[in-house]
C-alpha cells in the first residue's frame, strides 16, 4: 500500500498536478458534474465488487475492488485540487445520485444469483464505466482531468478483459 501511495505521489508531482498556488482551474459546469459523477460511479464499482467478493470469494473481485478504491482516490484528488465540493456517502451501497443508487441495487440483485451473473455484473460495470469515461473525456479540454480519465479508462479496459477471461471459463 505504501508503495502504491508513493508511486501515485510521484505521478502527481511529475505530471504537474500539484497546484502550488492553490488556484482552481476554470472548469465548466459539465466538467464539474462529470467529475462528481465519475467519483460516485467508481464507488458503485468498488462497493459492488466488495459485496460480490464477500458473497462469491472470486479473486477477480478482490483484485479489482482495490483498484476501484484507487480510482476513487484519484477522482477525490482531482476534485480537491480543483476546489470542487462534493458529497460521497461513507456507507457502502449508499449513493446520492439516484441513477447510480438504482444501478447499484440492480447490480447487487443480479450478482447475487450466481457466480456467472456476478461476473456479468462486473462486465456491465466496466462497459458502463468505459462509455462514461469516453464521454467525460469529450467534455473536457483540461489536461489534468483528461489524464486522470485516460488512466481510469485504461484500467477499466483491463478490468473488462479480466471479467471476460473469467466468463470464458464457464
Each residue of 105-160: pLDDT tens digit?
999 999 999 999 999 999 999 999 999 999 999 999 999 999 999 999 999 999 99
Cα three-residue angle 3-156-68, rounded to 5 degrees: 50
How crowded is the C-beta side of 79, counted as CA atoms within 13 Å? 21
CATH value at residue 93: 1.20.1260.10
Is the whole-model pTM more than 0.75? yes
In this prediction, residue 24 carries a pLDDT of: 54
Please tell me the distance from the alpha carbon of residue 43 to that of residue 73, in angstroms, as a whole number: 10
Contact (CB, 8 A) for 115 and 56: yes
Looking at the domain assignment, is residue 7 inside a domain? no
Neighbours of 145 (CB within 10 A): 23
Looking at the domain assignment, is residue 99 inside a domain? yes
Looking at the domain assignment, is residue 78 inside a domain? yes
Residue 17 pLDDT level (bands cut at 50, 70, 90):
very low
Q: What percent of the chain has pLDDT over 90?
A: 84
Contact (CB, 8 A) for 75 and 148: yes
Amino acid at each position: 500500500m505504501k508503495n502504491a501511495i508513493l508511486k501515485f505521489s510521484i505521478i502527481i508531482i511529475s505530471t504537474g498536478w500539484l497546484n502550488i498556488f492553490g488556484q482552481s482551474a476554470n472548469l465548466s459546469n459539465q466538467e464539474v458534474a462529470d467529475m462528481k459523477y465519475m467519483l460516485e460511479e467508481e464507488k458503485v464499482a468498488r462497493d459492488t465488487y466488495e459485496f460480490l467478493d464477500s458473497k462469491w470469494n472470486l479473486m477477480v473481485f478482490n483484485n479489482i475492488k482495490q483498484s476501484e478504491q484507487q480510482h476513487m482516490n484519484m477522482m477525490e484528488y482531482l476534485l480537491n485540487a480543483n476546489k470542487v465540493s462534493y458529497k460521497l456517502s461513507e456507507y457502502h451501497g449508499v449513493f446520492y445520485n439516484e441513477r447510480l443508487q438504482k444501478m447499484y441495487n440492480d447490480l447487487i440483485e443480479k450478482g447475487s444469483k450466481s457466480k456467472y451473473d456476478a461476473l456479468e455484473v462486473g462486465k456491465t460495470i466496466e462497459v458502463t464505466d468505459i462509455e462514461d469515461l469516453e464521454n467525460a473525456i469529450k467534455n473536457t479540454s483540461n489536461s489534468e482531468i483528461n489524464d486522470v480519465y485516460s488512466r481510469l479508462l485504461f484500467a477499466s479496459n483491463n478490468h473488462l478483459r479480466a471479467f471476460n477471461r473469467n466468463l470464458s471459463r464457464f
